[in-house]
Structure 1
Amino acid sequence: MPENQLDEELWDERYRSRPALWSGEPNRHLVGEAAELEPGLALDVGCGEGADAIWLARRGWRVDGVDVSGVALRRAAEHADRAGAEIAGRITWLHENLTAWDPGRGRYDLVSAQYMHLPPPERDVLFRGLAEAVAPGGTLLIVGHHPTDLQTTVPLPPRPELFFTGVDVVALLDPDGWDVVTEAAVARSVTDPDGRAVTVHDTVVRARRR
């Protein structure tokens, strides 16, 4: 995970270094938390090569997929085209730096941010802005690496301030305006660089705007 999540040149170079940076499968927590939601307009934050946006489009959502990397967005558009004209037609790809981009207020029935890791001042501004973009009755889904992952042998930047808990996210939401559906540290097994099985945890917050 790069230390600067919103550095366009860094991300473009990282995508160019490999033919596929991600698995091509949708994030598991998006599937687990959003599968039963009624389709509407979704915002996929940091959409990368497009797997989450394509999964949502297949389920009937209209999707805005936004990313800082133009290289990633070109790949995402190609993947959507291969999924078919109907799927591709439901997705709009947006090339934006999220710290400067305004998604608008109350626009989206789902806002999904998967593994967006910024220092607290920028992260708090970003997450509050994403929360404001959720329409009444809509869903905010934020997923990230839990701080305890720094105590494992999985390679991560040695910067504790980049990682967050569910409590950190929920604290940014007006308790009178939101119902927290999920606030958990979810365990999963990964393999470290030496081939050992390691248990890590994902921070998962799903909240519904009243």
Structure 2
Amino acid sequence: MTASEVKQHWEDRYAERERIWSGRVNPWLAEFAASSTPARALDLGCGEGADTLWLAEHGWDVLGVDISDTALRRAATQAVTMGLADRVRFEQRDLSESFPEGAFDLVSAQFLQSMVHLDRMWIFTAAANAVAPGGVLIIVDHGAAPPWAPEHFREHVFPSAEEVLQTIELDERQWDRVRVGSAERDAVGPDGQAGVLVDNLIVLRRVAAEAGQSG
């Protein structure tokens, strides 16, 4: 699938409804971001902007990146409505092709999984490289299909957090593990059915530069 076809896939996806996602912050991001001092944040695959705007509400200066122009227009409109336009900016790009410049104190990739081409290894390695000393990388994946998903989808085996971590080119001496593994959370399905979701979490903190260290 070409880059233009991948982009069109997501434009078509967002054209299905006026809103695709819930508009609520992803809970693991909220939990771990709360323990960090607000500074510069990067939200990868920001969609309609729920995480980006939540971070901005809590004092972060945020760059939200997504492949879909439609999603980004919705996010930008919501930022203006919420009075947060001065704390957020949005950027359209295919993360499999290019990555934002700069260093960030928090880099978040929430459920950056796709049925079409997505170079996760390259993206996650670039994401780690974008974390400033003392900053945090948060990657959250689906660990299993939702219990209300079709049977053929529930049979899909998702890679574990450790397996995903092994694909990222990291100098382990430069990172502290905050949490790497699976976690469960209660959720409600599209038809109101209660269930438990399994997520895979990779939360790493980059070792801060020592006082007086340069280069």
**TM-score category, normalised to shorter length:** 0.7 to 0.9
Name stretches of at least 5 consecutive residues in structure 1 with no aligned partner. none
Matching residue's letter, 1:154: A
Matching residue's letter, 1:8: K
Indicate the residue corresponding to 2:107 in structure 1: 111
1:56-205 → structure 2 map (5 Å cutoff): 56-84=55-83, 87-104=84-101, 107-117=103-113, 122-146=119-143, 148-149=144-145, 152-155=147-150, 160=156, 163-171=158-166, 172=168, 173-191=170-188, 196-205=193-202
1:2-81 → structure 2 map (5 Å cutoff): 7-81=6-80
TM-score (norm 2): 0.83
**Quick check: 1:154–1:198 contact (8 Å CA) kept in 2?**
no
Using a 3 Å threshold, how does the CA distance of structure 1 residues 194 and 47 change in structure 2: closer, same or farther?
closer
Identical aligned pairs, as a percentage?
40
**Quick check: 1:145–1:202 contact (8 Å CA) kept in 2?**
yes
Matching residue's letter, 1:125: W
Query: For structure 1, which segment, 20-29 or 187-196, has the greater mean C-alpha deviation from structure 2 after superposition?
Result: 187-196
CA distance in structure 1 between the aligned counterparts of 2:53 and 2:66, rounded to whole angstroms: 15
- State the SS of the aligned residue for 1:204: strand
CA distance in structure 2 between the aligned counterparts of 1:35 and 1:75, rounded to whole angstroms: 25
Q: Deviations over 1:144-176 (max 9, x none)?
A: 101x438x4424857957x33210233223211
- State the SS of the aligned residue for 2:90: strand
For the aligned residue pairs, the C-alpha RMSD in angstroms reads: 2.6
CA distance in structure 1 between the aligned counterparts of 2:192 and 2:87, rounded to whole angstroms: 40
CA distance in structure 2 between the aligned counterparts of 1:33 and 1:47, rounded to whole angstroms: 17
CA distance in structure 2 between the aligned counterparts of 1:36 and 1:23, rounded to whole angstroms: 24
Greater Rg by CA: 2
Query: For structure 1, which segment, 170-179 or 93-102, has the greater mean C-alpha deviation from structure 2 after superposition?
Result: 170-179
Alpha-carbon offset, residue 124 of structure 1: 1.1
CA distance in structure 1 between the aligned counterparts of 2:184 and 2:92, rounded to whole angstroms: 33
**Count of aligned positions:** 200
Alpha-carbon offset, residue 198 of structure 1: 3.1
- State the SS of the aligned residue for 2:46: coil
Query: For structure 1, which segment, 191-200 or 129-138, has the greater mean C-alpha deviation from structure 2 after superposition?
Result: 191-200
Query: For structure 1, which segment, 124-133 or 184-193, has the greater mean C-alpha deviation from structure 2 after superposition?
Result: 184-193
CA distance in structure 2 between the aligned counterparts of 1:53 and 1:208, rounded to whole angstroms: 20
**Quick check: 2:47–2:66 contact (8 Å CA) kept in 1?**
yes
TM-score (norm 1): 0.85
Alpha-carbon offset, residue 40 of structure 1: 1.0
